[in-house]
Structure 1
């Protein structure tokens, strides 16, 4: 894999730390702003909403921009929003910074996903996506738990400052590793924007985007409210939240790495195996959450299965959107973040019910069940058109 791909992954690490870190900071943020944990949870949805809107919009605006200044600009805006979030005393302003940060993140990912696909041969998109997403999974292993520990020791605002600081070496990496100027060879014969947007009318593309969104909704709905499960259901101290996030991140790294080697040529087995196991896992986690050993084992397994299935479906989005070379990354980003926006909102609604802190886990199982009910009768359609074939 080319070095620029790993430099892009470094920037994704900083952004992934921010996207996931709220899972360990929500109780403190809620206390600081005198809101409920469920209300604080909408900050996750705010980030996702910014990603949904920002991905296609910014990708359309940036499709003719040179990649290096575009990627650099997105990273610097992302850093500035976190500096503002670290000093604000207003929850609405914090909410707004999450939206703006997400738009910058969306723009970065939309350009980076498309760039990653062009840095490798056409039949290695899944591997390239796995390297890029490894920045996110490493964030869940190291960045997010580290942020949780930092937040516990110095307050949640220190974590926001740390994310802003992480963006600086990422920006330097982009300056040193991404070529300046436009890729004229790629621009030659590029479809018009209207033709790329027309790809969204293709049923196969809509199908895999929907499935990716549902699986990601289950992941984010459950992960966002993992902290109350650890402290309330399992009865563990706050520092164990960081341990749970490390375990989830380790599982996600395993899942995305394995899926990255299979999703190009054998997506069917990944979906057929990971899907049902993921469906069983969320309810099992809810039932066994009061047993710490079972809790951490299942958190690892669910991290692996969630990212294996989710990354495979998003790879299918890139294949299905082959006719939209500059917009395909934004379609994949939008699919991921529709789920990331919907999942926490639906999960938060269950916190006040009899299920309590376990409600989000039951919701995760329900969302995966819906995805599998849609996918099962259309399984041959989902996995058709592997490798370099142009999907019709």
Structure 2
């Protein structure tokens, strides 16, 4: 792995840890801050809101700056947000600190994906993007379980303090290992980057992300409850089982990278179709321990096999100005997280049972597949010359600027 990708993966590891660890620390946070667990759940939503707001805003603001400087600045802001979380004196200040920590999330992955793609060799762009996101998946295998245990034994503030340290390490790694890359050019800025969002195919890609990935979080948000109430897994074992989900995520990201380089749309269709099948079978598999463990790994694998083709689809369709579209796709992932969790919660609250979120998730994933297939057909039958012209013009501008 190129050292620049290692630096991006370290940063992704820290971001993934802070994003998901709050779900496991809600009881400790609620007790310490004298609030309810549902109220503490808004801390998860606050981070997601920061991602949705920060992804397009910070990307547009930083469009004229060299990308290495942008990555370092975004990671520094992430570090400040987590340090503020560790030192927050009360619920309201923690709510604000979580929002602050979420602001750079989408912009970092948006800019980072473009950087990872550009430093790769011919035909290896998707693989490099997948390697950057490998840090995010490893966070679920190692970072989240370890950070949860740390928070349970030393307090939740210690968890965010450690994440802040990871942020500092990532800042240093980015400064030393990532090569100097110029901004998108003198014409860069809000108008040029926003122009990418006027493309119908970009919006269809974002919509595919929202629906397709929502299927994963419709189940993941309530996975611990399913395992304890239906499978009969003990609370102590849940952490280990959730780590298996992270193992599946890692495998999915590794498999999807090379496949996406070879055939983007077929990889996307196959991963969304496989996700739908796994979610339909999940309520039956979760009734027995052995099959439940296999199902958890498969859910992580097929769920996160969708992330690389979804990211690459949006970047490819916005190739004349990919950074804002890439960051917006990260906002779409977080909308999927929130929407999937909400839809699964509605199913449980309606009395459909603890496994009902899986069927809801299957419907969401199938909807995402339908949107993706529709986009593919429109791409084949719609006007193609304008898109090719923009792509060629962008490539020529990049070549001329870099050789000047």
Distance 1:11 1:289 in 2: 34
In the TM superposition, what whole-angstrom CA distance separates every residue of 1:98-134 from its partner, at most 9, and x where no partner exists?
2111102223223212222221246432112101101
In the TM superposition, what whole-angstrom CA distance separates every residue of 1:306-346 from its partner, at most 9, and x where no partner exists?
11123211111111110114424323322222212322233
Distance 1:36 1:218 in 2: 27
Distance 2:225 2:278 in 1: 18
Hey, what does 1:64 align to over in structure 2? Answer: 64
Distance 2:27 2:346 in 1: 17
- The CA deviation at 1:141 is 1.0
Hey, what does 1:346 align to over in structure 2? Answer: 343
Hey, what does 1:158 align to over in structure 2? Answer: 158
1:362 and 2:359 matched: yes
| Stretch deviating more after TM superposition (41-50 or 11-20) | 41-50
| 1:274/1:86 CA distance change after superposition, 3 Å | same
- The CA deviation at 1:247 is 0.5
In the TM superposition, what whole-angstrom CA distance separates every residue of 1:122-159 from its partner, at most 9, and x where no partner exists?
64321121011011011111111212222333333332
- The CA deviation at 1:65 is 2.0
CA RMSD of aligned residues (A): 2.7
CA contact (8 A) 1:217 1:342 kept: yes
Distance 1:224 1:93 in 2: 25
SS class of match (2:234): coil
Distance 2:288 2:41 in 1: 25
State the structure with more CA Rg: 2
CA contact (8 A) 2:134 2:253 kept: yes
- The CA deviation at 1:361 is 3.0
Q: Which segments of 5 or more consecutive residues in structure 1 lack a partner in the other structure?
A: none
Distance 1:235 1:34 in 2: 30
| 1:377/1:70 CA distance change after superposition, 3 Å | closer
Q: Which segments of 5 or more consecutive residues in structure 2 lack a partner in the other structure?
A: 392-404
CA contact (8 A) 2:150 2:158 kept: yes
CA contact (8 A) 2:127 2:257 kept: yes
Hey, what does 2:135 align to over in structure 1? Answer: 135
Superposed, 1:5-44 pairs within 5 Å as 5-33=5-33, 37-44=37-44
Distance 2:122 2:255 in 1: 19
1:253 and 2:238 matched: no
Query: What stretches of structure 1 move > 6 A for 4+ residues in a row?
Result: 382-385, 388-392
Could you tell me the TM-score, scaled by structure 1's length?
Answer: 0.88
- The CA deviation at 1:12 is 0.8
SS class of match (2:170): helix
Hey, what does 1:93 align to over in structure 2? Answer: 93
In the TM superposition, what whole-angstrom CA distance separates every residue of 1:7-59 from its partner, at most 9, and x where no partner exists?
11111111111112233333443444455544443433322221111111101
Superposed, 1:187-336 pairs within 5 Å as 187-188=184-185, 190-191=187-188, 193-336=190-333
| 1:87/1:222 CA distance change after superposition, 3 Å | farther
CA contact (8 A) 1:48 1:102 kept: yes
| 1:390/1:361 CA distance change after superposition, 3 Å | farther
| 1:30/1:377 CA distance change after superposition, 3 Å | same
Distance 1:190 1:354 in 2: 55
Distance 1:360 1:163 in 2: 31
Distance 2:317 2:33 in 1: 44
